[in-house]
């Protein structure tokens, strides 16, 4: 065939059948009993020509409520942040998007450098000594952190705040079941972890306390105080953090965290209707050899030139399975590269500016809600770019979100889906992409839906 990527013609098919010595396609399946084969025509559309197929696929994609056509106030883990155009230009280069993982590091210097830069950025943001680039997302990173804590302390109990993302807690529960770990969940008070309940549950059996700050409700946790509680019992503190918030907040490492994890999606990674994203994972130097995945290091070759190596490889693909720190982590190098390009494009000042814009715009929206006669802010704890709106008792969150969608808005997350005690509460996110007019119109439209 001259055109390798076009479907075969009837003559092509006949020539192929002749080469293998049969007369029809039916003969290819003669060893499969007729009674177990599908009889008739599959219930799918007829073949489409290229023009019709493109039109059909465009019609299907237009049914998605994307950020280009809708104004988003929906967060809960995936956010509508600005993605600089340079990012797609860089990651679309074939040497990056085809380089899944550096199996031959000596000839993968560009890929290794990209991973090294990502690790360096994460360490600087989190205040930790070592980071990797091998986590699927923030949720699986949390589960891996729990596993690391249990291994490092040789204890079987993990304490996790209910203010941690519900989906991340589900992943943690699944992972813990296989490792025979006990999970204790701590109550919420005013949008943050109930410290009285937490202190009463920590014991010498506790491997780690796992918190999120800013947490699922957008509120800032008292990391230092929680760290003091668990360290008094020689356990570890795991902090999941929105990395963008670290542009203005003190790094968890300086506040006593032993492991800092999270999702790098706010750093130039498109929402893509829910993923994929890129998790990050950083630890103190003492825990470095317990980390899952791989760590890229910097060295000099015999000519004194800068080079990069895989300093630590703790995956089952590299070492014996029973010695591996994890068997499920992968290499998110392309998405880590997105984050690295974003951070290098924005610079230190740019990251601070974007973080401040998120704070200022979210607080502007919250103040507008406070002036409403029928809406209220549920918590008084400090927050970053998300907050919880309490709706009137008779309000139906599902119907309100449907009305907002019809008006061109992606409304907030219905907290009643994950927290039965929070029926009638809406989690709203406000990023740097929202304008004053969009915020004002959203509040007005939300009031009109009540």
Confidence of residue 1 (pLDDT cuts 50, 70, 90): very low
Name the one residue in this structure whose structure tokens are 């760590």. 295
Average pLDDT, the chain: 92
Quick check: 27 pLDDT over 70?
Answer: yes
Sequence-distant contacts of 310-318: CB under 8 A, at least 24 apart: 310/102, 310/105, 310/112, 312/288, 314/289, 315/134, 318/294
First-to-last CA distance in the chain?
64
Report the percentage of the chain scoring pLDDT > 90.
74
pLDDT tens, position by position, 363-404: 999 999 999 999 999 999 999 999 999 999 999 999 999 999
Helix H, strand E, coil C: the string for the chain is CCCCCCCCCHHHHHHHHHHHCCCCHHHHHCCCCHHHCCCCCCCCCCCCCHHHHHHHHHHHHCCCCCCCCCEECCCCCCCCCCCCHHHHHHHCCHHHHCCCCCCCHHHCHHHHHHHHHHHHHHHHHHCCCEECCCECCHHHHHHHHHHHHHHHHCCCEEEEECCCCHHHHHHHHHHHHHHCCEEEEECEECCEECHHHHHHHCCCCEEEEEEECCCCCCECCCHHHHHHHHHCCCCEEEEECCHHHHHCCCCHHHHCCCEEEEECCCCCCCCCCCCCCCEEEEECHHHHHHCCCEEEEEEECCCCCEEEEEEEECECCCCCHHHCCECCCCCCHHHHHHHHHHHHHHHHHHHHHHHHHHHHHHHHHHHHHHCCCCCEECCCCCECCEEEEECCCCCCHHHHHHHHHHCCEECCEEHHHCCHHHCCEEEEECCCCCCHHHHHHHHHHHHHCC
What is residue 47's predicted lDDT score, i.e. its pLDDT?
Answer: 83
In this structure, the number of other CB atoms found within 10 A of the CB of residue 313 comes to 14
pLDDT tens, position by position, 318-358: 555 666 666 666 667 889 999 999 999 999 999 999 999 99
Quick check: 224 pLDDT over 50?
Answer: yes
Show Cβ contacts of residue 31 under 8 Å, excluding neighbours closer than 6 positions. Answer: none
Confidence of residue 150 (pLDDT cuts 50, 70, 90): very high
What is residue 48's predicted lDDT score, i.e. its pLDDT?
Answer: 87
State mean pLDDT over 166-178: 96
State mean pLDDT over 253-281: 95
State mean pLDDT over 172-195: 97
Confidence of residue 314 (pLDDT cuts 50, 70, 90): low
CA torsion angle 431 437 441 443 (round to 10): 50
What are the domain boundaries of the chain? Answer: 71-82+347-448, 85-342
Report the percentage of the chain scoring pLDDT > 70.
94
Nearest C-alpha neighbor of 243 from the set 365, 128, 361: 128
State mean pLDDT over 154-181: 97
Confidence of residue 419 (pLDDT cuts 50, 70, 90): very high
State mean pLDDT over 41-48: 87
What number does CATH give the domain 71-82+347-448?
3.90.1150.10
Confidence of residue 310 (pLDDT cuts 50, 70, 90): confident
Q: How far apart are CA 216 and CA 275, in angstroms?
A: 18
Same fold, 71-82+347-448 and 85-342: no
Q: Which of 100-114, 144-158, 259-273 has the lowest mean pLDDT?
A: 100-114
Q: How far is CA 121 from the centre of its chain?
A: 17
Name the one residue in this structure whose structure tokens are 């992968």. 330
Q: How far apart are CA 380 and CA 101, in angstroms?
A: 45
What is residue 273's predicted lDDT score, i.e. its pLDDT?
Answer: 85
Class of domain 85-342: alpha beta
pTM for this prediction: 0.89
Confidence of residue 196 (pLDDT cuts 50, 70, 90): very high
Q: Which of 70-84, 187-201, 266-280, 313-327 has the lowest mean pLDDT?
A: 313-327
Q: How far is CA 439 from the centre of its chain?
A: 25
């Amino acid at each position: 065939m001259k055109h390798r990527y076009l479907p075969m013609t009837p003559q092509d098919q006949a020539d192929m059948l002749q080469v293998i010595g049969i007369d029809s396609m039916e003969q290819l399946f003669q060893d499969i009993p007729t009674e177990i084969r599908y009889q008739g025509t599959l219930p799918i559309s007829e073949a489409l020509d290229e023009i019709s197929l493109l039109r059909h696929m465009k019609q299907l994609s237009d049914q998605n409520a994307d950020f280009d056509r809708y104004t988003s106030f929906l967060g809960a883990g995936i956010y509508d942040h600005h993605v600089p155009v340079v990012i797609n230009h860089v990651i679309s280069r074939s040497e990056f998007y085809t380089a899944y993982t550096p199996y031959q590091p000596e000839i993968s210097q560009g890929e290794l450098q990209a991973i090294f830069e990502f690790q360096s950025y994460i360490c600087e943001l989190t205040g930790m000594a070592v980071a990797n680039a091998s986590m699927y997302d923030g949720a699986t990173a949390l589960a891996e952190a729990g596993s690391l804590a249990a291994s490092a302390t040789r204890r079987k109990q993990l304490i996790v705040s209910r203010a941690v993302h519900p989906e991340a807690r589900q992943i943690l529960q699944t992972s813990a079941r296989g490792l025979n770990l006990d999970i204790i969940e701590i109550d919420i008070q005013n949008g943050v972890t109930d410290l009285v309940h937490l202190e009463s549950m920590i014991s010498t059996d506790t491997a780690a306390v796992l918190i999120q700050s800013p947490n699922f409700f957008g509120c800032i946790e008292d990391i230092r105080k929680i760290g003091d509680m668990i360290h008094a019992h020689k356990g570890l503190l795991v902090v999941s953090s929105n990395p963008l918030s670290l542009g203005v907040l003190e790094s968890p490492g300086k506040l006593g965290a032993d492991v800092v994890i999270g999702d790098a999606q706010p750093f130039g990674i498109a929402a893509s209707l829910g993923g994929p994203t890129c998790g990050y994972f950083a630890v103190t130097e003492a825990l470095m050899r317990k980390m899952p995945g791989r760590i890229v290091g910097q060295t000099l070759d015999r000519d004194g030139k800068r080079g990069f190596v895989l300093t630590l490889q703790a995956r089952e693909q590299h070492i014996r399975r029973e010695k591996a720190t994890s068997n499920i982590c992968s290499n998110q190098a392309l998405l880590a590269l997105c984050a690295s390009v974003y951070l290098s494009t924005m610079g230190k000042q740019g990251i601070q500016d974007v973080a401040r814009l998120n704070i200022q715009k979210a607080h502007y929206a919250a103040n507008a809600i406070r002036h409403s006669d029928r809406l209220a802010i549920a918590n008084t704890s400090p927050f970053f770019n998300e907050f919880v709106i309490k709706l009137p008792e008779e309000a139906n969150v599902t119907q309100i979100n449907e009305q907002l969608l019809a008006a061109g808005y992606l409304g907030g997350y219905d907290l009643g889906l994950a927290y039965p005690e929070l029926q009638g509460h809406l989690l709203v996110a406000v990023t740097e992409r929202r304008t004053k007019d969009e915020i004002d119109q959203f509040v007005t439209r939300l009031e009109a839906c009540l």
